A = this chain, B = another copy of it.
Amino acid sequence: MKRFIMWALVMFFISTTFAQQALWGDAHVVSPEIHKDHTVTFRIRAPKAVKVEITGDFPAPQQIQTSNGKSYVPGKVQLKEGIGGVWEYTTSEPLASELYIYSFIVDGQRTIDPASVAMVRDVATVSSLFIIPGDPGDLYSVSDVPHGTVARRWYDSPTLKEQRRITMYTPPGYENSKESYPIFYLLHGSGGDEEAWVSLGRTAQILDNLIAQGKAKPMIVAMPNGHTQNAAAPGESSRNYTPAMGGGPRKAEASMEDSFGDIMKFVESNYRVKKSKTYRAIAGLSMGGMHSAAISAQYPNTFDYVGVFSAPPIAGLMTRNNLNSVKAVDEFVKKLQVQQKNGPKLYWIACGDTDFLYQSVMDSMKKMDEIGFNYSYRESSGGHIWKNWRIYLSEFVPMLYK
């Protein structure tokens, strides 16, 4: 029988060539083509186009001068038109091992690579992606190792008076074990949601791979939505979606810090997690880094591991010339003093050397030095980008629960 189902399906496809084209794009164009030497060729068929460019993580961002200093804009390269209206560009140098996201810009119109099935959604933007093998690219790839489970669940938040969506990673074997596991709360940035760490952050792949290599303890990772004005990512909630700072019909009724107890309660009553400080970690990027600092200070004897990625632990220092801010900083420093007495095992601050928050991170650490707060600092090159956040996650996780 199965041979005939196959036959029938071939007939099916012949009769739906139109649908097939819609699904698979143009079969004759190969893009991206990763060559053996790790140079990459990009191709897109666009016979009517006047100008075709690539932008994204590749090519590298360009520095520009603005009224308040230096800033970065995404790099762009131009493709050249060849036979049959296929535009092409090959990198002049091999690319370093990394996960790259990119888009084409065809006469000003952004589009993903029609020839590639690999894509990723970042809130409202979909981009194509490819991985150059090696270190760290292999760590971000789906490998032939046991895989954990990624679940989208809903928890009740009495503080915010609603059901909210959360992404949960459970390690390989969790479902068929009676064991309890350490718990890691991992928070996204302002331009993200509960999908961010599992999409661009590659959390499931990084955890699967580090656990398989024996470099990380099997752990549960809870990735909530850190925007209290939204219950979920775009399209996933019954309320209209409100962009991060775009205002909207509903104001946040409480902050992420105030409502964090609801998340912990959900996790601890729905998962087999170890309920002690020794087995609790919290970290986040950008806004999520500020959240991690604020939450671990508000619950000062709860987390033995705190990670603040690309953000000043003392958020008030970002507006340090403001009188109210001075007061807020003082109040927060008092909280830090309490937290320091309880002695977290690891308070890890990481920042890129061209991050636009670099100075406020430096200012935070100076203030923390003044009160003898015990932290570690990791500086990488580059700015406020996912490349750095994947590195920080990959380095932070192996240090946990030791």
Contact = CB atoms under 8 A, between A and B. Distances in A.
Interface of A: 1-5, 7-13, 15-16, 18-20, 22-25, 27, 46-49, 68, 71, 73-74, 106-112, 114, 116-126, 129, 141-144, 146-147, 149-154, 163, 165, 175-176, 190-191, 232, 234-238, 241, 243-246, 255, 257-258, 270, 286-287, 290-291, 294, 315-316, 318-319, 322, 324-325, 328, 331-332, 335, 356-357, 384
Contact of A111 (B22, B109, B316): B109
Number of copies: 2
B319 A8 contact: yes
11 contacts: A1-B331, A7-B324, A8-B318, A8-B319, A9-B287, A24-B243, A117-B235, A117-B241, A121-B126, A142-B232, A147-B165
Nearest to A23: B191
A39 B399 CA distance: 56
A326 to B, nearest CB: 10
Q: 9 tightest A-B contacts by CB?
A: A117-B234, A151-B151, A2-B255, A4-B328, A8-B318, A117-B124, A147-B154, A8-B315, A4-B316
A46 B324 contact: no
A153 to B, nearest CB: 5
Judged by DSSP, the binding face of A is mixed
Given A1-B315, A110-B111, A150-B151, 16 more contacts: A4-B319, A4-B324, A7-B322, A7-B325, A8-B290, A9-B190, A9-B290, A18-B71, A20-B245, A23-B122, A23-B124, A23-B191, A24-B243, A117-B123, A118-B235, A176-B270
